[in-house]
Amino acid sequence: MQAGLSTKNAPSPSVVLPHYAYGAVAFIVAAILLFFTADDIALSYMTPKVLSIIHVLILGWITMIIFGALYQLIPVVMELKLFSEKLAMASFITLGLGTPMMAVSFWYDFISSTYLMMTGGGLVILSVIMFAINTIASAMKSEIKTIENRFIITSIFWLILTVLLGLSIVLFPQILAYGSFQIHIHLGIIGWFMMLVVGVASTLMPMFFIAHQLNKKCLQRAYILINGGLVILVATMFFDLSSYVKIGAGFFILVGFIMFIKYNFGAYKKRLRKKLDIGMKLSVLAFILLIITLISGFLSVFGGMIDSSLLTKLNLVYGTSLIYGFLTALILGQMYKTLPFIVWLKIYQDKVGKFKTPLPADMHSQEAADAHYFFFIGGFALLIFGIVLSEAILIQASAGFMLLTALLYGYNTFIILNHKEKLKPLTLPKLRPRVAAKKK
């Protein structure tokens, strides 16, 4: 095989595609749960229903799609085959079973060691361990040592710490202090999701923008600042250090993410395709929403200096703008940049050159995608206003918009996954008469 190619390294579509299908269903379920959680979200994030919906979104929607996408992307960014497809399938099944168990347990029993919580949590941890083994074993064989890959590997380290601490909170709630819960959240959000997203987005965005000659120093600085800031932040929470140290850590992390945005903004400015398709429009929107996350996240490190009801709102805006804003918009957009290609390759890989085939961009409904782009913006804006004004009715209205978004997105996911072969005769240019090949 020629170096630098990834198609032949790609895993079987039957490993990757179920992740996208599951994620689309979880996104619909989350929108329905949001409607019934409106009263709680208007007040706090530490309620049974809010924790339930957060875990549906984080595990069933975001982590599920990230796992699937990474199984597809590891061959792209690391230029090798995935360590084990069986392990990937096993991690899908365990995450898929564990997530609803945890969500139901949170909804009815809050943070308690119920049978469902222990089984669900155990399955999720098992899934994460299998994912971590698969990705780390793949990375160790890779000769491609880029800064983007370093972000991905580091995120897996933080993920393992996140789930181990999460399980410890449920198992030993009487021993672990409130700070452990805060550490769990920050390890998960900054260490796992954001670290991974920085690595993957910084690989894919320039590729899809067709932008070259970018300054990678921004990414190297981002790596040091975000990881350094996170270590200090966690130490601050664990040892209950001064708030000034916490503010310093928050500042490091903030500047790190500004470096990440700067790198991708550079790719956006240098892009060859001036007009953005729906996938890139949603991805650019995600970066705009990230600014809300960064501002609210940084302000929340001032903690004790802020009025408690305002701090609760800040934390809610921070978490919501990250999970239902940045990460959701990025996943919505990147679905259109990855899923059609996986299905297209599966169906048309052996047909190219023999027939005229549709393009990956032709495999979804453009009307549905355009509509859910606006429903999503409307739903997100209503959600943030609902939180800021503590108005449950706005959050319920947001749930309606988010449900429409999820249904249209689910429809497009479904039609891409069920795409049937459409071939037309090939039309080739008329060439001047020539001599046939000589028989040897």
Q: Which residues bind another protein (CB under 8 A)?
A: 1-8, 10, 72, 75-77, 79, 207-208, 210, 212-213, 272-277, 338, 341, 344-345, 348-349, 352-354, 359-361, 426-429, 431-432, 434-440
Closest approach, Cβ 107 to another protein, in A, equals 39
Closest approach, Cβ 14 to another protein, in A, equals 17
In what helix (H) or strand (E) does residue 328 lie, and over which residues does it extend?
A: helix 328-348
Place of tokens 């700070």: 179
For 355, which DSSP code? E
Separation in Å, CA 146 to CA 105, 219, 265: 41, 10, 20
Cα-based angle 96, 24, 295 (whole degrees, multiple of 5):
100
Separation between Cα atoms, residue 175 and residue 169, nearest integer Å: 8
Separation in Å, CA 405 to CA 53, 103, 329, 380, 392: 17, 22, 11, 10, 20
Q: Which two structure tokens, joined as six digits, stand for 132?
A: 């971590």
Burial pattern 392-408, b for ≥16 Cβ within 10 A else e, equals bebbbbbbbbbbbbbbb
Closest approach, Cβ 126 to another protein, in A, equals 30
Separation between Cα atoms, residue 259 and residue 236, nearest integer Å: 24
Closest approach, Cβ 221 to another protein, in A, equals 23
Tell me the residue length of the chain: 440
Helical H runs in 42-82?
48-55, 64-78
CB 168, CB 180: distance < 8 Å: yes
Separation between Cα atoms, residue 279 and residue 340, nearest integer Å: 11
Q: Closer to another protein at the Cβ: 115 or 141? A: 141
For 304, which DSSP code? G
Closest approach, Cβ 358 to another protein, in A, equals 10
Q: Closer to another protein at the Cβ: 420 or 439? A: 439
Closest approach, Cβ 130 to another protein, in A, equals 24
Nearest to 29 by CA among 62, 59, 57: 57
Closest approach, Cβ 426 to another protein, in A, equals 8
Closest approach, Cβ 147 to another protein, in A, equals 15
Closest approach, Cβ 108 to another protein, in A, equals 43
Hey, how many other C-beta atoms are within 10 angstroms of the C-beta on 297?
Answer: 25
Nearest to 379 by CA among 341, 411, 406: 406
Separation between Cα atoms, residue 31 and residue 53, nearest integer Å: 9
